[in-house]
Amino acid sequence: ASVLGVLAGSASAQDLIVDGSLCVGFDCVAGESFGFDTIRMKENNLRIAAVDTSASASFPDVDWQLTFNETSNGGKNKFSVDDISNGRTPFTIEASAPSNSLYVE
Q: Which 3 state secondary structure label does DSSP give 13?
A: coil
Length of the chain equals 105
CB 64 within 8 A of CB 84: yes
Phi, psi (5° rounding) for residue 69? 70, 155
Rounded to 5°, angle at Cα 83 from 58 and 67:
140
Phi, psi (5° rounding) for residue 70? -80, 155
Whether the full predicted model's pTM is greater than 0.85, yes or no, is no
Per-residue pLDDT of the chain (105 residues; tens, 9 = 90+): 445 666 777 788 888 888 999 999 999 999 999 999 999 999 999 999 999 999 898 999 999 999 999 999 999 999 999 999 999 999 999 999 999 988 888
